[in-house]
Amino acid sequence: MKTLHAYLNSLPKSERSDFIRRCGTSEGYLRKAISTGQSLGESLCINLERESCAAVRCEELRPDVDWDYLRNSNPATQPTQEVTHG
């Protein structure tokens, strides 16, 4: 959350407002989450990383999520579950 806090503080007010809007949240929500150490939803983490051009990483925001699995997954190489009809 330190990186998110620093990133938000580095943006001029108008850019910060645009960034937060593109992430689909509010500044108040993010500030409260930062100050209380609240867990952010996975979708919000992805939005924050995407909109910050990876300056804020999902792994820092939610270290409890296996982001490495998602980053290294390739749908074409994922095991498929065989469906049997019987």
Residue 78 within any structural domain of the chain: no
Distance CA 20, CA 52 (A): 10
40 located within any domain: yes
- 8 vs 5: CA distance, rounded Å: 5
What is the per-residue pLDDT across 16-52, written as a single tens digit (0 to 9) for each? 999 999 999 999 999 999 999 999 999 999 999 999 9
Number of domains in the chain: 1
Residue 86 included in any domain: no
Percent of the chain with pLDDT over 90: 80
In this prediction, residue 82 carries a pLDDT of: 57
Domain assignment of residue 69, yes or no: no
User: Cα–Cα distance between 5 and 17 in angstroms, integer?
Assistant: 14
Q: The domain containing residue 12 runs over which residues?
A: 2-62
In this prediction, residues 49-68 reach a mean pLDDT of 96
Residue 14 in domain: yes
> Is residue 6 assigned to a domain?
yes
The DSSP secondary-structure symbol of 51 reads H
The four Cα atoms 68, 72, 77, 83 give a dihedral, to 10 degrees, of 30
pLDDT for 85 equals 60
